[in-house]
Amino acid sequence: MEFSEIWTSLIWPLCRLTLFISLGLLMGQLIEALNWTKTVAAGVSPLLRLGRLSDIAGASFSLAFFSGVSANSMLADAYAQSRISRRELIMSNLFNSLPTYFLHLPSVFFILAPLIGTAAVIYLGLTVGSAMLRTVFILLFSRFFLPPPKERCVSCRLDEKEPVTFRSAITRTIQRFRKRIGRILSITVPIYIVFFLLNRWGAFIAVEEVMAQHLGWLSWLSPQAVGVVIFQMAAEFSAGAAAAGALLAAGSLNQKEVVLALLVGNILSSPMRALRHQFPYYAGIFKPTLAATLIFWNQGLRVLSLLVVGAVYSIAF
């Protein structure tokens, strides 16, 4: 393995991940140190009341539109300090799936639109609908299974006798950052390297190929559409989109078949990719067992919601 390959495939991505984790952690710590948590959460207060979620969940939800690392770091800190329960941590993390989706929506749109045209709008509309469906379900579930928050005001836990100046907030942020970043990187970096080696040795490709070889139950899709699904599983999302675009342009697939093929490929490929890409940094923010639990519930609920919107689209159109 040449150094240039190690640099582009391991060292540079790991440096970039470390940078984003550090910036996200600093942002979350600074917001808490400045006592801005309630202010940040104010915009989603009706949803918080509906789901019996605390201001921490609301602040994390708002931050997730800009940084998933900041949002998760805030939840991890609150859980470690027993300000939220394990159940509320899981609900809050699932609640963040909507802003996290919107964070990546523009890049997905600009990949799909040139390749499949108006089918991109339908596909993305269905995935947005599935994200909103998940949010509604999470709020209703938490409404019935979470107790009312003891206090709506996060600032109640702060020492209000001591005024929060910007300098004191910076000092507190740096102190907390130093405590957290070492632990996060000590877990994230080794796990990332292990997953890099597994990918290098073809472990994930082998699993995805085995899955792709057992798609007989997709006989309701045309062979061309199944080909798009296989491309999406064996390569990357953009490869499946490119294959779908070529078949759509040639008239081998219609718009509905393209949308359904991309949805099926999304459902089948995302759990493995979530484990490969999400787990290393999740395990650095949360404990590895908890990180695996959060990814399991996120992906399980995501698959169910995509199945629902896909079934409705297939039947209705």
Half-sphere exposure of 109 (CA within 13 A, CB side): 14
Looking at the predicted structure, is the pLDDT value of residue 154 above 50? no
pLDDT in tens, 35-78: 665 665 566 888 888 888 988 888 889 888 877 888 898 899 88
Contact status, residue 69 vs residue 105, Cβ threshold 8 Å: no
Contact status, residue 194 vs residue 279, Cβ threshold 8 Å: no
Burial class (CB in 10 A: 0-12, 13-18, 19+), 86: exposed
Most confident of 125-134, 160-169, 233-242, 262-271: 125-134
Number of domains within the chain:
1
- Concatenating the DSSP letter of every residue in 52-68 gives T--HHHHHHHHHTTT-H
Average pLDDT, integer, range 186-199: 74
CA distance 121 to 128: 10
Contact status, residue 35 vs residue 155, Cβ threshold 8 Å: yes
pLDDT in tens, 280-301: 878 888 888 999 999 999 999 9
Burial class (CB in 10 A: 0-12, 13-18, 19+), 132: middle
pTM: 0.75
> Which residues make Cβ contacts (< 8 Å) with residue 114, sequence separation at least 6?
245
Looking at the predicted structure, is the pLDDT value of residue 87 above 80? yes
CB count, 10 Å around CB of 239?
16
CA-wise closest residue to 230 among 256, 200, 269: 269
Question: How many whole angstroms from its chain centre is CA 193?
Answer: 21
Domain range spanning residue 197? 3-316
How confident is the prediction for the chain on average, in pLDDT? 80
> Which residues make Cβ contacts (< 8 Å) with residue 296, sequence separation at least 6?
none
pLDDT range class, residue 135, cuts 50, 70, 90: very high
φ/ψ of residue 83, rounded to 5: -85, -20
Q: Lowest-pLDDT range, 10-14, 115-119, 257-261, 312-316?
A: 10-14
